[in-house]
Amino acid sequence: MISFIIRTKNEEYWVGHCIQSIIENFSNEEKLEIKVIDNESKDDTLQIVKMFREYNIEVLTIPKTEYTPGKALNLGLRSVSSSSDFACLISAHCVVDKIDLDLLRSHFIDNNCFGVLGRQKPVYKGKILKSKYVWENFVQNESNVIKNLRENIEGNSAFFHNAFSFINMNVWRQHKFDENVTGKEDRLWANHLLKKNYYFLYDSSQVCVHHWTSNCATWSGLE
């Protein structure tokens, strides 16, 4: 089973593209489930999600009064099938370009690998950006780069990013995301696990296109 977690709030413009790209990247032989964690969207986000109801999609709602990134992720991950060894966390405004399942499965053979960070190609209002801000963490000009990331754990500066990442479910079941913080839950989780001698990988062969949206803090500083 392959599981995807998509967090949404007023994502009508991109969520259909995101879901369609997930579906198109897998053959009929692969068992697929998609969990949409919605934070009281007021636009047509949920109506668009329902267009894909023939696929294995479940919508879970988290009230805005209770929302934190970690709480939303934990809610989605708790609903994942017990047969899933790993789950993909993907932004609603990311479109999958390529996912190599065989390679991902090989990464998670070692249960000390808590996650895999995929490559994000940033597109700002139709223009592909050069590396800057958060995007400096993603190697853009090399193919098939796989890096074991352990460095800088003393300074809590290891970079993990839940806009496009793959999570070892066995590790997550023991170490949930912090539900009290309002941001950077991904980096806090990664640094917590690094200090417990787990590790994560950056795999540039897992690729998505990350589209700009005015609602996303990742893009702050560009306007």
Q: What are the CA-CA distances from residue 203 to residues 112, 118, 147, 166 (Å)?
A: 16, 5, 7, 10
**Tokens describing residue 58:** 């479940």
For residue 120, the tally of other CB atoms under 10 A from its CB is 24
- How far, in Å, CA of 80 to CA of 5, rounded? 9
Whole-model pTM: value is: 0.87
Q: Which residues contact 177 (CB under 8 A, 6 or more apart)?
A: 69, 70, 71, 73, 74, 185, 186, 189
Of residues 142 and 207, more confidently modeled = 207
CB burial of 162-174 (b: ≥16 within 10 Å; e: otherwise) equals bbbbbbbbebbee
pLDDT at 94 over 50: yes
Tell me what the mean pLDDT of segment 183-187 comes to. Answer: 92
Tokens matching residue 179 = 């539900």
pLDDT at 141: 55
Closest C-alpha to 143, from 203, 79, 66: 203
Res 112: pLDDT: 94
What value does the mean pLDDT take over residues 178-198? Answer: 94
Which two tokens mark 61? 């709602």
Distances in Å between the alpha carbon of 29 and those of 20, 32, 84, 166? 17, 9, 15, 20
145-175: pLDDT as tens digits? 666 665 544 545 678 999 999 999 999 999 9
% of the chain at pLDDT higher than 70: 78
* 101 contacts 166 by C-beta, under 8 angstroms: no
Segment 96-131, tens digit of pLDDT? 999 999 999 999 999 999 999 999 888 865 545 455
Please give the domain boundaries of the chain with CATH numbers for all domains: 2-219 (3.90.550.10)
DSSP conformation letters of 77-88? HHTS-TT-SEEE
Range 39-61 average pLDDT: 96
Quote the tokens at residue 26: 């897998």
In three-state secondary structure terms, 132 is coil
